[in-house]
């Protein structure tokens, strides 16, 4: 930070802009803090792995295929397309800000990002590989071996290190700097009247009971269809699939509403095509409240202020395969 004769004043303004705790408005939603990178080499390795389609059987599908970081960390499809054009059973949630969630997946079956990252590689309907084969591929690529050695002190590639590095990269995928965060940090001009009215409605009508905290969600499992049942063709059971308890049936992790403008379509079955539709459904099914068109418009205007600075970096270059690298099997 540059200091001049007005150095103190500048420093104060800069701290406010960076979101220091004392400056933040007392609201049920808190600003997102920028990622603190402690091990940049690990993050770089994780970034490469996130973009590397050689972690899939076909050699074609990477994490980024379904969590496209150019599209809000999602695929914008009702349900994802996996290996051999397999139709996925559930909508892909965004990876943006997913480090803030209590658990991973709609039903919370993975406790954290590291545990989650092993799932898709070996899922026959997603990347359709095995952990052993993924490790064999990486071990055969000299560029990766050198990187694993630099980060983990050993040339031995292990699935545990693969998922650890991917998780470290995912922890950097946070989106501070949204208009709403600027408002939370004291900038009165960051929101216009309509957006502010939308936030007031969101808060006063009870959306914040479930969508709260820095991620505006992700902090609890809640029943979809609390007041009125949700009608869906999807077979997803929600949390009950993990706990085996009947009272957890149709409980899903409350999704983050950060960047929700980018992550359409909505809900675990991807049934709501637009934000307007999703807000209307939430109002009726979760709160027993039928919003007018104008009210929905206001809430949607507020939700769009939750779009933050998207992760920006140079597209990673992937080290080439060697003659020993097992070849992809794109067609079964
Ligand atoms: C074929 C598409 C596909 C691929 C490839 C894929 N995912 Fe996913 N991802 C999904 C779907 C669908 C879900 C939701 C599954 C569920 O909840 O049951 C998901 C869930 C997640 C979540 C949980 C987010 C949350 O809010 O609960 C994270 C994190 C994630 N994936 C990261 C990854 C990583 C890392 C990779 C690469 C190793 C990857 N995904 C590969 C489709 C995919
Ligand atoms: C009782 C808890 C609860 C309340 C209250 C609630 N929500 Fe939700 N919200 C959820 C759950 C759970 C989901 C995921 C449901 C699913 O996918 O089946 C969700 C999903 C959403 C989604 C879709 C996000 C996505 O990525 O798919 C939006 C948008 C949303 N809520 C907005 C709102 C608004 C606006 C309100 C107030 C009118 C509200 N919610 C009230 C629990 C709640």
Task: Write down the mean pLDDT value for the chain.
Answer: 93
What domains does the chain contain, in order, with CATH numbers?
40-170 (1.10.760.10), 179-304 (1.10.760.10)
Split at pLDDT 50, 70, 90, the class of 22 is low
Q: Annotated catalytic, 126?
A: yes
Contact 10, 3 (CB under 8 A): yes
Statement: residue 6 has pLDDT above 80: no
From the alpha carbon of 238, which atom of ligand 2 is closest? 18
Q: What is the pLDDT of residues 211-240, one digit of tens each?
A: 999 999 999 999 999 999 999 999 999 999
Statement: residue 327 has pLDDT above 90: yes
In the DSSP assignment, the letter for residue 140 is T
Long-range contacts of 277-285 (CB under 8 A, 24+ apart): 279/303, 281/230, 282/207, 283/205, 284/227, 284/228, 285/224, 285/225, 285/226, 285/227, 285/228, 285/229, 285/230
Query: Using a 6 Å cutoff on CB, does residue 283 contact ligand 2?
Result: yes
CB neighbourhood size of 60 (10 A): 13
Ligand 2 center from residue 83 Cα (angstroms): 30
Statement: residue 15 has pLDDT above 50: no
Split at pLDDT 50, 70, 90, the class of 157 is very high
From the alpha carbon of 218, which atom of ligand 1 is closest? 26
Q: What is the pLDDT of residues 69-122, one digit of tens each?
A: 999 999 999 999 999 999 999 999 999 999 999 999 999 999 999 999 999 999
Split at pLDDT 50, 70, 90, the class of 185 is very high
Closest residue by Cα to atom 2, ligand 2, is 210
The ligand minimizing its distance to the Cα of 209 is 2
Q: What is the pLDDT of residues 251-307, one digit of tens each?
A: 999 999 999 999 999 999 999 999 999 999 999 999 999 999 999 999 999 999 999
Split at pLDDT 50, 70, 90, the class of 10 is very low
Ligand 1 center from residue 332 Cα (angstroms): 23
Closest residue by Cα to atom 16, ligand 2, is 267
Query: Whole-prediction pTM value?
Result: 0.94
User: Whole-angstrom Cα distance, residue 59 to residue 330?
Assistant: 6
Statement: residue 326 has pLDDT above 60: yes
CA distances from 179 to 299, 303, 329 (A): 15, 10, 45
Backbone angles phi, psi at 253, to 5 degrees: -65, 130
Ligand 1 center from residue 55 Cα (angstroms): 14
Contact 306, 259 (CB under 8 A): yes
Contact 50, 166 (CB under 8 A): yes
- Please report the pLDDT score of residue 23 as a whole number: 72
Statement: residue 43 has pLDDT above 60: yes
- Please report the pLDDT score of residue 243 as a whole number: 95
CB neighbourhood size of 281 (10 A): 18
């Amino acid at each position: 930070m540059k200091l001049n004769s007005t150095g103190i004043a500048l420093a104060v303004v800069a701290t406010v802009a960076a979101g220091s705790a004392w400056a933040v408005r007392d609201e049920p939603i808190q600003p997102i803090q920028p990622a603190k990178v402690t091990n940049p080499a690990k993050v770089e390795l994780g970034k490469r792995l996130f973009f590397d389609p050689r972690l899939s059987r076909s050699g074609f599908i990477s994490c980024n295929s379904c969590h496209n970081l150019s599209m809000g960390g999602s695929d914008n499809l009702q349900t994802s397309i996996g290996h051999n054009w397999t139709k996925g059973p559930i909508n892909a949630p965004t990876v943006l800000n997913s480090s803030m969630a209590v658990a991973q997946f709609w039903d919370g079956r993975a406790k954290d990002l590291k545990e989650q990252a092993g799932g898709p590689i070996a899922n026959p309907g997603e990347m359709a590989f095995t952990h052993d084969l993924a490790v064999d591929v990486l071990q055969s690529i000299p560029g990766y071996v050198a990187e694993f050695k630099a980060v983990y002190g050993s040339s031995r590639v292990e699935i545990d290190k693969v998922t650890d590095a991917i998780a470290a990269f995912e922890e950097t995928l946070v989106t501070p700097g949204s208009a709403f965060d600027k408002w939370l940090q004291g900038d009165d001009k960051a929101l216009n009247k309509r957006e502010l009215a939308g936030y007031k409605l969101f808060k006063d009508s009870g959306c914040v009971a479930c969508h709260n905290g820095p991620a505006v969600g992700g902090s609890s499992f809640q029943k979809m269809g609390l007041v009125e049942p949700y009608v869906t063709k999807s077979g997803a059971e929600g949390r009950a699939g993990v706990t085996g308890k009947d009272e957890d049936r149709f409980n899903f992790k409350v999704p983050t509403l950060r960047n929700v403008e980018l992550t359409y379509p909505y809900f675990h079955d991807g049934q709501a095509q637009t934000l307007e539709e999703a807000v209307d459904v939430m109002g009726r099914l979760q709160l027993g409240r039928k919003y007018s068109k104008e009210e929905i418009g206001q809430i949607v205007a507020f939700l769009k202020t939750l779009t933050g600075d998207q992760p920006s970096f140079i597209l990673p270059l992937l080290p080439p395969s060697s003659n020993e690298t097992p070849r992809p099997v794109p067609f079964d």
